[in-house]
Chains A and B, each alone.
Chain A
Amino acid sequence: MVSGLINANPVVYERKERRVRTAPFSADEYAVEPIDQQEIFDHIRDIKDPEHPYSLEELKVVTEDAIEVDDKHSHVRVTFTPTVEHCSMATVIGLCLRVKLMRSLPSRYKVDIRIAPGTHATEAAVNKQLNDKERVAAALENPNLLDMVDECLAPTYA
């Protein structure tokens, strides 16, 4: 695999405080709570960076504002920002995001993963790769890659 780190010294940001939702307890038993930005963010914020022991949140790879959800039309789009422009880990990060959301969201959802415009050298190629169903499936057939993804996702299930 890669020798040496791609971004040896990333900037680490502070975690945002976990917002505790104030659930009105007397609330209607049958009221629907739609899936929203924060819920999606809670799913992916703890994904570990493939080469650092920090979460994507701490590296500001994903932020809550970069998530668009449309619960009615079952569509979610996550835009992430790699730490450096030439980061070859971008595809792995994207794959992690996709797998995590596939495992966490109802099957009716269409998940769209994109790199933030202008933050990566081969932006178009990566975007294409991440949203190609077959290539994603093929990638997950690769046991090494799958292990790597699982390792990154492990903290999110804690």
Chain B
Amino acid sequence: MAKSSSWVPHIEAFVDSSRSSSQQNESLEALASLLRNDVLTIELLVREMEMYLTTTDNVIRSRGILLLGELLARLMVKPLENVTVHSLIGFFTDRLADWQALRGALIGCLALLRRKSSVGMVSGSDARLVGQSYLQNLQVQSLAQHDRMLCFELLECLLDRYSDAVAALGDDLVYGICEAIDGEKDPRCLMLTFHLVEVLAWLFPEPSGPLASFAGDIFEILGCYFPIHFTHQQGDDFDIKRDDLSRALMLAFSSSPLFEPFAIPLLLEKLSSSLPLAKVDSFRYLSHCVLKYGVDRMGKHAKAIWSSLKDAIFTFSLQGNIFSLASDLPDTMGFEENDITKEALICLEKVILQNDGIFLSLIVDDEDVEMILRSVTISNSYNSLSVESKQKLLAFGRIIVVSAKISSSSCDRIFHFLFPRLMDILGLSSSSLSLECIPYGSPVSFGQLNFGAIYLCTELLAACRDLIVGSEDIAPQSVLMQVSWCCLLQRFSGPLTTFLSSSLVTSMKQENCDANIYSGVKGLRTLATFPGWFLPISKSIFENILTVFMSILTAGCEETLLWKLSLKALVQIGTFTEKFHDSERATSYMNIVVGKIVSSISLDDSSMPYSLKLDAIAEIGGSGMHFMLKVIQGLEEAISANFFEASSKGNLKSVEVLIPLLECFSKKVLPWFHKTSLFEDIVFHFVINIWNQMEANTTFNIGIKANELLDVTMMVMRQAVADCSEKNQGLIVQKAYNILSSSASFSLKEPMPLSIPLKTEGLQLTQNLQDFSCRDEWLISLFASVIMALRPQTCLPDVRVVLELFMSVVLKGHVPAAQALGSIINKLPATIDSVEVSRACTLEEAMVIISKMNLWSVNGNSSFRKCNVICKSVENLTDLDISANNNAMVQTNVLVGLAWIGKGLLMRGHEKVKDITMTLLRCLLSTINTELLPIQHGLSGNDSGQDMHPLVMKSAADAFHILMSDSEICLNKRFHATVRPLYKQHFFSIMMPILLSSITGSDSSITRSFLYRAFGHVISNTPLVAVITECKKLIPVLLDSLAVSSVDILDKDLTYSLLLVISGIIMDENGREAVTENAHIIINCLVGLLSYPHMMLVRETAIQCLVAMSGLPHVRIYPMRTQVLRAISKALDDPKRVVRQEAVRCRQAWASMASRSLYF
């Protein structure tokens, strides 16, 4: 036990009101930790504190009691003996009478009452004593806010944890609580009081108990809070929102049926308030209370509730145009409901759910409903309805939907009430038999086309369908079968279908209101999507509906609303059939819809545009697996037929058909398979099929548009191969390789001894692509596409031969071959398993092949020699010298090849990429040594001869773009590339120092301009985070590089991406310092770009950057103000509107930093 001298000062410190509150807190914590660690016992402490607890000095006594209370609140989990707890609670109970020292007593009581039984809790009888003392002594409403809150917490704790003990207090308790909560205004306390009432109701549920006698009083207290009016802004100290309060009050309202006589009249009264919030809240409370109060109590209010609901739904349902066509094909005839209607409809659902008998008869027998029904069906077309009628129509539709959806019996009732009448209006009931034999397409007289009736009818049908679909698993089918509305529907389904279809067919021929189309399509769609086991809709009707939609679809020569809706309806029907495994209907769908549309691919007589047709096909195929298979089959047939036509006969028309076909295949069909990742075989066969055609077809000749077709085919090939498994990929590669090697122009032989340079072949093959026959170009391109899309694990046949082949083709400027080379290098395994595959090859070996082949070996007398000598020792790869001959075309091609190989290496994080970049750099720096080159600006190098070199240098600089940028075509995730994390950052951090020092080191302006270009490519493709950490060094170079690139119109994309880097730095918090330092040159550069004529985005971004710059410290930027304002005032006259708008903002930002008298 610690000496008393060590802890008594803490007590004194706490009790002494002259100490600062932090000191007091410290001593409190110190004492608490002593107690917690058993250095001190409660008994000892209390004995020592005796004087403080009993003195007649109010201040000291209250501090003393508070200390004890606070200590206990900190020891909630420390076990205490029951005796101790008993005597402590006895003490605090007494102290509740001591109003000067109340705070401590409340805290003490709360702390003790909240203890768990495992650590010693207050006994029931003690708790009751606390309650008694509370009721006798406390005048809650006369206390300050914090004390009131403690009081409510104490009550809550008693009711929650000692309900049995305090329940014995009976009337006194209820009365005491009434008194305590009466007139409370603080939101934090209100949350507690509402909860108190809720708990109270749970405590005394009996209808003759204590609560019953006070229910009126309590409700009087509660009722005046409704509806909650709470204006505190958010972000207040206490985290209570209006919704929380409203919810708590709602729970209190609905806590006991005893409140019903008071609550319901109040809510109904508030419903007639003009405050929208009151209405929303009333409905919300009502829906909640209805369930809690029970059927018996609510019955008598039914009429009043219905009339309020009716008012709200019909009055507020919505303003404005319902069939807003702006939104793209709304699922339902979607309209925005306001909150009042929404809550009212929820409430309607709840009351009907509780007591459908009463409410449904109220609806059915209501004279207003009758009148509305008459008024909305009085005129025929949608447009001739008044705005109010339209509103009423929609509201009425909503009521029908809500009430019919609730249960089978309610559906029955509503259906019987409405359906026959609607049929009467539409003129279907009398002539039902004769109508059935009317053929489709016969015009319906517009006298019968009553929009109101059609709308209500479709809504009703949709509700019934939803009910059935939703209840499928709940209700046994046989029960549903006997529901009488089904028979009714069954009787009318035929005529109704005929009617709706002919209305649609009519609307196709003449101008018609969109609303009619919506309703018509929706009606038919609903009819077709009644589940098959549910009999009303016979097979023939289902097929008729499909036929109607199909006739609309095939007749459509442009994308009208009707066309789009019909397509969507067909897709929905398809999805539905697939989902419910309805084999009979699936067959009908397959025959009528899928079969027909697929067969229409090959027919070109249809008036439908081809692209539209393909869209429709892909959409319909997407609705189900079987349908998709059929669609694929059709597409494949069409593709292969057209491919044959195009390739062997050079049929131009087939080429034109083939391009959209292949595009559709790659954009719609393949992604669908990719998503489901099933049916890989189909994709595999598709690919093999193309290769078979290539093989069979030796007189391959495609005239114009061949390139476009080749591009699309390559795209499809890549995507399709990428989706295949390793095994299938292996088969495809083997097949392609065989076809390729059987072609005469590619001499694919075993690799020759590595020591002999292969250059002879490289040079023998003439140097441009035109010498390829059409077939050879296709073969090699498609083969390259296959290679690009392979998975890393797929093994390649004869890697060495393939490498050589590609390299020789690269020389001729064949880019796909370069990409394929990059992909091979990227995916080759670093090591091979012991099971030696004879023709497999590791990465190392491949690199050796590439370098040893010396395709581009030295025989020129150019400056590369010198560099070569210097670098020779580094790595044999550097022998890849590119002065093979002086033909700049070849050199450029080589550089492209190198760039792609480098990209493959870079992405897998292989260090050999360094050698390739060194070669590129040497190209860039070469002019240093060749003084003989005439230095010219504006070097597009059109004329051959002397300035060939700049062209090569340019492509060396652009090689960095290939290295760093993300490619859509290959070497990405979709095509299974090996990607090392952060490879860009890594490359950036290696390259930057080299590039920077080369830039400063070079003294030729041409060389420097190309170095800037390379720098620009690297930096604009590096993630911004990496750039920003280095930005102090980089900003000046970046600006120079921007200046260089903005000279040539061809470099506008580079200019823009560099500007984006600058703007990224300016916007970033970490770049701020460097930007401030370089503010002057940055602003100069941006001002220069304000008049960049070639790209609006550049000007716009430059102005935005200037706006951001205006936020820098004024000392730095003020000197530039006049200059900026002058430039901006020119931008105000920019040809583009967006730029002008930004200029206005920018001008304001810069002008307002000082007196405006200069420029207003």
Specify whether A and B are partners: yes
A106→B1132 contact, CB < 8 A: yes
Stretch with Cβ within 8 A of A (4 or more), from B783-791, B840-848, B1136-1144: B1136-1144
Interface: A67 (CB within 8 A): no
Query: Does A33 contact B1160, Cβ atoms closer than 8 Å?
Result: no
Which of A29, A99, A105, A146 is the one whose CB lies under 8 Å from B1132?
A105
> Cβ of B1159: which chain A residues have Cβ within 8 Å of it?
103
Binds A, one of B280-288, B797-805, B1145-1153: B1145-1153
**Once the chains bind, are B1137 and A157 in contact (CB under 8 Å)?**
no
* Size bin of chain B's contact surface: 20 to 34
A104 an interface residue at 8 Å Cβ cutoff? yes
Contact pick for A102, options B1095, B1130, B1160, CB 8 Å: B1160
Task: Mark A140-157 against chain B: 1 for CB-CB distance below 8 A, else 0.
Answer: 110000100000000001
Interface residues of B in 1114-1160 (CB under 8 A from A): 1129-1130, 1132-1133, 1135-1138, 1140-1141, 1144-1145, 1147-1148, 1151, 1156-1157, 1159-1160
Closest to A157 in B: B1148
**Within the complex, what minimum Cβ distance (angstroms) separates B505 from chain A?**
34
- Cβ-defined contact, B1145 with A31, below 8 A: no
Which one of B1095, B1140, B1157 lies within 8 Å of A35 (CB-CB)?
Answer: B1140
Residues of B within 8 A of A103 (CB): 1144, 1147-1148, 1151, 1159-1160
CA distance A75 to B1156 in the complex (A): 24
Q: Are B1160 and A108 in contact (CB under 8 A)?
A: no
Q: Which one of B1096, B1133, B1148, B1157 lies within 8 Å of A106 (CB-CB)? A: B1133
A105 surroundings in chain B (CB, below 8 A): 1132
Collect the chain A residues with CB atoms within 8 Å of residue B301's CB.
Answer: none
Given known pairs A29-B1095, A30-B1135, the reply for A157 and B1157 (CB within 8 Å) is: no
Report A42-72 CB contacts with B as 1/0, cut-off 8 Å: 1100000000000000000000000000000
The reply to whether B1129 and A157 contact each other, CB–CB distance below 8 Å, is no
CB distance from A132 to the nearest CB of B (A): 15
When the two chains form their complex, are residues B1147 and A31 in contact, meaning their CB atoms are under 8 A apart? no
Q: A33-B1135, A141-B1157 are in contact. Are A106 and B1129 (CB under 8 A)?
A: yes
Contact B1144 A99 (CB under 8 A): no
Is B116 among interface residues, defined by CB-CB distance under 8 A? no
Closest to B1135 in A: A32
Contacts of B1132 in A (CB 8 A): 104-107
Residues from chain B with a CB closer than 8 A to the CB of A19 are none
Q: How close is A115's CB to chain B, nearest CB, in angstroms?
A: 22
Please classify how large the interface on chain A is, using the bins under 10, 10 to 19, 20 to 34, 35 or more.
20 to 34
- B146 at interface, CB cutoff 8 A: no
A16 interface contact, C-beta 8 A: no
B1157 touches A33 (CB 8 A): no
Contacts of A23 in B (CB 8 A): 1138
Q: Which of A91-108 contact B (CB under 8 A)?
A: 99, 102-108
The reply on A18 being an interface residue by CB < 8 A is no
**A22-B1136 Cα distance, complex, nearest whole Å:** 13
Task: Pick from B1093, B1096, B1133, B1144: contact of A43, CB below 8 A.
Answer: B1144
- Please determine whether B1140 and A39 come into contact, CB atoms closer than 8 angstroms: yes
In the complex, whether A73 has a CB less than 8 A from a CB of chain B is no
Kindly identify, within residues 551 to 572 of chain B, every residue whose CB is under 8 Å from any CB belonging to chain A.
Answer: none
Whether the pair A108, B1133 counts as a contact (CB closer than 8 A) is yes
A26-41 to B contact mask, C-beta < 8 Å, 1/0: 0001111101000100
Smallest beta-carbon distance A109→chain B, Å: 9
Q: In this complex, what residue of B is CB-closest to A105?
A: B1132
Say if the beta carbon of B1094 comes within 8 Å of chain A. yes
- Partner pick for A29 among B1096, B1133, B1156, CB 8 A cutoff: B1096
Distance of A99 Cα from B1133 Cα, bound (Å): 17
What chain B residues lie within 8 Å of A33 (beta carbons)? 1135-1137
Q: How far is the CA of A32 from the CA of B1136 in the complex (A)?
A: 6
Q: In the complex the two chains form, is B1148's CB within 8 Å of A29's CB?
A: no
Task: Determine the residue in chain B with the shortest Cβ distance to A153.
Answer: B1148
The interface residues of chain A lying within 8 Å CB-to-CB of B1137 are: 21, 33, 35, 39
Q: How far is the CB of B1091 from chain A (nearest CB, A)?
A: 13
Which chain A positions have C-beta within 8 A of B1135?
A: 30-33
| Contact between chains at A104 and B1133 (CB < 8 Å) | no
Q: How far is the CB of B1092 from chain A (nearest CB, A)?
A: 11
**Further contacts, 10 of them, CB under 8 A, given A29-B1095, A42-B1141:** A23-B1138, A29-B1094, A33-B1137, A39-B1137, A99-B1160, A103-B1148, A104-B1132, A104-B1147, A105-B1132, A157-B1145
Top 7 A-B pairs, shortest CB-CB distance: A106-B1133, A32-B1135, A104-B1144, A106-B1132, A33-B1137, A157-B1148, A102-B1160
- Please, could you name 19 A-B residue pairs with CB atoms under 8 Å apart, sorted by A? A21-B1137, A30-B1093, A33-B1137, A35-B1137, A39-B1137, A42-B1141, A102-B1160, A103-B1147, A103-B1148, A103-B1151, A104-B1132, A104-B1144, A104-B1147, A105-B1132, A106-B1132, A106-B1133, A107-B1132, A140-B1160, A157-B1145
